């Protein structure tokens, strides 16, 4: 079922499938929408309960300002709407930060975490300021090639030109204000002092060719969360959910079995 739900000040777009629990909840990266999980969902058993959502300012969700806590409250509000608890939260990049924030603020909702290509702090203030300036002066379409170079390794781009063109379109059509709001949320978010208290089973995935969250940064997150496992996907860029969805679906199902 595809639908829309008002969570406080913002109408959010989601897809929900009832099924076997624990539910799996997917949280997207910057400049993408819930379709980045299509390949992962196709590789999962068809009887699982699944919730995907477009965070505010992305996909078909409304645009409204909000920090990392607000993004997590949106996910929590949607999960509450569907009566989900102890779910397996799978987030990539900023989606992985939202997942960490959710585990810290609403541990009742989170049974396990699959954190893909993310960290407890992503980038630095100067880098985000520069990006905000470029969005305003050049616009997202003009920035797309640079972003895609961080998302996908050269060999993947050469081998899949149509797919890469499609994701360039997804990025370029993202609402500039929504994208900028998410950049501000990233600039202001630092979970490094708090992730050591995450207590649920956690798997962290990195990509050896990730140009946005390099593998040493992602491994640092796994080191900071008690008991977390780290998996590095050789040859993967920033978005293995698109590039090699089976490499995300397999640890997701292992974790699902562990928490079931």
Q: Which residues bind ligand L4CXMVQC (CB under 6 A)?
A: 29-30, 93-94, 122, 147, 150, 212
Between 41 and 94, name the residue whose CB sits nearer to ligand L4CXMVQC. 94
CA distance 58 to 47: 28
Cβ of residue 116: shortest distance to ligand L4CXMVQC, in angstroms?
A: 10
H or E stretch covering 2: strand 2-7
We find the least distance from the C-beta atom of residue 7 to ligand L4CXMVQC, in angstroms, to be: 20
In the complex, residue closest to ligand L4CXMVQC by CB: 93
Closest CB to ligand L4CXMVQC among 81 and 150? 150
Q: Which is nearer to ligand L4CXMVQC, 135 or 147 (CB)?
A: 147
Paired tokens of 37:
């999980």
Residue whose CB is less far from ligand L4CXMVQC, 48 or 98? 98
In the complex, the smallest distance separating the C-beta of residue 174 from ligand L4CXMVQC, rounded to whole angstroms, is 11
Q: At its nearest, how many Å lie between ligand L4CXMVQC and the CB of residue 22?
A: 24
Helix 140-151 / helix 161-172 crossing angle, nearest 10 deg = 130
| Gap between the Cα atoms of 257 and 20, Å rounded | 12
Query: Cβ of 64: how many Cβ atoms within 10 Å?
Result: 16
Which CA distances in Å does 198 have to 84, 216, 246? Answer: 19, 20, 26
Least distance between ligand L4CXMVQC and beta carbon 92 (Å): 7
Please report where in the chains the tokens 């292992």 appear, as a residue. 254
Cβ nearer to ligand L4CXMVQC, comparing 49 with 167? 167
In whole angstroms, how close is the CB of 122 to ligand L4CXMVQC at the nearest point?
5
Backbone φ and ψ for 147, nearest 5 degrees, come out as -65, -45
Name which of 84 and 180 has its Cβ closer to ligand L4CXMVQC: 180
CA 114 to chain CA mean position, Å: 10
- CB of 61 or CB of 93, closer to ligand L4CXMVQC: 93
Is residue 86 a contact partner of residue 111, using CB atoms and an 8 Å limit?
yes
Give the nearest distance from C-beta 200 to ligand L4CXMVQC in angstroms.
Answer: 22
Dihedral, 217, 218, 220, 223 alpha carbons, nearest 10: -170
The CA distance from 15 to 9, in Å, is: 20
Rounded to an integer, what is the distance from CA 252 to the centroid of its chain? 14
């Amino acid at each position: 079922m595809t639908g829309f739900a008002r969570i406080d000040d913002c109408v959010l777009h989601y897809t929900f499938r009832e099924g076997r629990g624990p539910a799996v909840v997917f949280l997207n990266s910057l400049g993408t929408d819930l379709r980045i999980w299509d390949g992962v969902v196709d590789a999962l058993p068809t009887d699982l309960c699944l919730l995907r959502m477009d965070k505010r300012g992305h996909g078909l969700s409304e645009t409204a300002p909000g920090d990392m806590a607000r993004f997590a409250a949106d996910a929590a509000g949607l999960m509450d709407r569907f009566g989900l608890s102890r779910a397996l939260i799978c987030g990539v990049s900023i989606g992985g930060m939202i997942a960490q924030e959710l585990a810290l603020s609403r541990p009742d909702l989170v049974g396990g975490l699959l954190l893909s290509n993310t960290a407890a702090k992503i980038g630095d203030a100067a880098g985000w300021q520069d990006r905000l300036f470029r969005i305003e002066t050049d616009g997202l379409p003009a920035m797309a090639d640079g972003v895609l170079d961080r998302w996908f390794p050269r060999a993947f781009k050469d081998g899949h030109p149509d797919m890469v063109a499609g994701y360039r379109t997804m990025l370029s059509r993202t609402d500039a204000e929504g994208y900028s709001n998410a950049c501000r949320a990233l600039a202001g978010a630092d979970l490094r002092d708090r992730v050591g208290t995450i207590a649920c089973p956690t798997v962290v995935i990195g990509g050896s060719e990730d140009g946005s969250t390099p593998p040493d940064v992602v491994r640092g997150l796994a080191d900071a969360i008690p008991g977390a496992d780290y998996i590095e996907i050789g040859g993967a860029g920033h978005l293995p959910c698109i590039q090699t969805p089976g490499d995300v679906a397999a640890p997701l199902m292992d974790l699902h079995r562990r928490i079931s």
